[in-house]
């Protein structure tokens, strides 16, 4: 486990960032940089972290950051749909924001960065499971912004010697994921509907698949990457298990005890049919997922019930 470092987490008040802060806080000194556009103060309550409430695009905030050993760069506008509606504004945060973080690191001699990339960079791949050597085919501005950030991180590695690694997250879920946001992921949406004794809504026939990775498994993988700083510059992080939306709905209906059947609506345009990570690469570092979907869902339901 990563120890005795001073760590900057951008986007640290968000879902994944605050789970990462919780995991790292015992043994490290943490600084969170977040503009609270999507993140929440309560996600960090009870955690002993320094908070800089500012945008990653704010030069004076970036200048104020001192003595950091490693950056976890998670700040982003994460919605695919939002990026389609606002390609320029989202590129400012999701791409220029990454360049600004890298420039700050270059000026301040910060040696390493772990970047929150996405399986979206792969697009609609024919072959599953998808491994890191698959040629990316981004299908949205969001995916292009992530891929451009990955490439820039690679440039900074080769030209300026900053060790940068991009972690391509598959579908992450768990406590602190916002069920109310317009861009909410399927798991918190289904759980909320089931807790309210309503049917989960499935678009299409529900046979489409995803690779759901529990946030506590994901943050362990991120910490391990930062600790080992391997030479590879891209890692998939998923569960390595393919789950259909029908299976997911059934698990959530059973675990919440909601007596409803799913409600089916028309398939949404542009949805990926199958998604599954080849996690051989990250397993080679000594990581493997510890949570089954059922166990992760149980903890998430408990958290959602407590926080209502």
Binding site for ligand NAD (CB under 6 A): 10-11, 13-17, 34-39, 55-57, 74-78, 93, 97, 116, 118, 169, 171-172, 185
- What's the CA gap between 121 and 131, in Å, rounded? 12
CB 179 to ligand NAD: min, Å: 12
Cα distances (Å, whole numbers) of residue 85 to 91, 92, 197, 203: 11, 14, 33, 21
Active-site amino acid positions:
142
Between β-strands 201-203 and 29-34, what pairing exists: parallel, antiparallel or unpaired? Answer: unpaired
Residue 236 or residue 251: which is nearer to ligand NAD going by CB? 236
Question: Could you give phi then psi for residue 243, rounded to 5 degrees?
Answer: -125, 130
Residue 212 or residue 287: which is nearer to ligand NAD going by CB? 212
Q: Cα 119–80–157 angle (5° rounding)?
A: 50
Cβ contacts of residue 242 below 8 Å, gap of 6+? 128, 129, 209, 210, 211, 274, 275, 276
Residue whose token pair is 């301040």: 108
Cβ contacts of residue 148 below 8 Å, gap of 6+? 95
Residue 78 or residue 296: which is nearer to ligand NAD going by CB? 78
Cβ contacts of residue 240 below 8 Å, gap of 6+? 129, 211, 276, 277, 278, 279, 289
Residue 21 or residue 249: which is nearer to ligand NAD going by CB? 21
Residue 78 or residue 240: which is nearer to ligand NAD going by CB? 78
């Amino acid at each position: 486990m990563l120890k005795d470092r001073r760590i900057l987490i951008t986007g640290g008040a968000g879902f994944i960032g605050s789970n990462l802060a919780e995991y790292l806080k015992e043994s490290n000194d943490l600084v969170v940089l977040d503009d609270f556009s999507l993140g929440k103060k309560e996600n960090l309550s009870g955690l002993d972290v320094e908070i800089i409430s500012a945008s990653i695009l704010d030069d004076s905030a970036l200048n104020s950051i001192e003595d950091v050993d490693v950056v976890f760069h998670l700040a982003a506008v994460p919605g695919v749909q939002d990026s389609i509606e606002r390609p320029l504004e989202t590129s400012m945060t999701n791409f220029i924001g990454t360049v600004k973080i890298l420039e700050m690191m270059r000026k301040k001699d910060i040696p390493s960065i772990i970047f929150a990339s996405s399986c979206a960079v792969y697009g609609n791949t024919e072959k599953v499971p998808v491994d890191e050597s698959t040629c990316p085919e981004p299908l949205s501005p969001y995916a292009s912004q992530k891929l451009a950030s990955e490439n820039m991180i690679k440039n900074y590695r080769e030209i300026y010697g900053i060790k940068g690694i991009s972690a391509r997250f598959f579908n992450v879920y768990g406590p602190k994921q916002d069920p109310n946001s317009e861009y909410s992921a399927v798991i918190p949406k289904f759980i909320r509907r089931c807790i309210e004794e309503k049917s989960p809504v499935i678009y299409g026939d529900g046979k489409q698949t995803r690779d759901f990775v529990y946030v506590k498994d994901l943050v362990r993988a991120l910490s391990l990457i930062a600790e080992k700083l391997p030479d590879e510059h891209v890692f998939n992080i998923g569960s390595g298990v393919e789950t259909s939306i029908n299976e997911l709905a059934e698990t959530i209906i059973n675990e919440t005890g909601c007596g409803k059947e799913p409600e089916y609506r028309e398939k949404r345009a542009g949805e990926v049919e199958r998604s599954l990570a080849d996690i051989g690469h990250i397993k080679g570092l000594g990581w493997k997922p510890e949570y089954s979907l059922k166990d992760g869902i149980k903890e998430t339901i408990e958290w959602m019930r407590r926080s209502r």
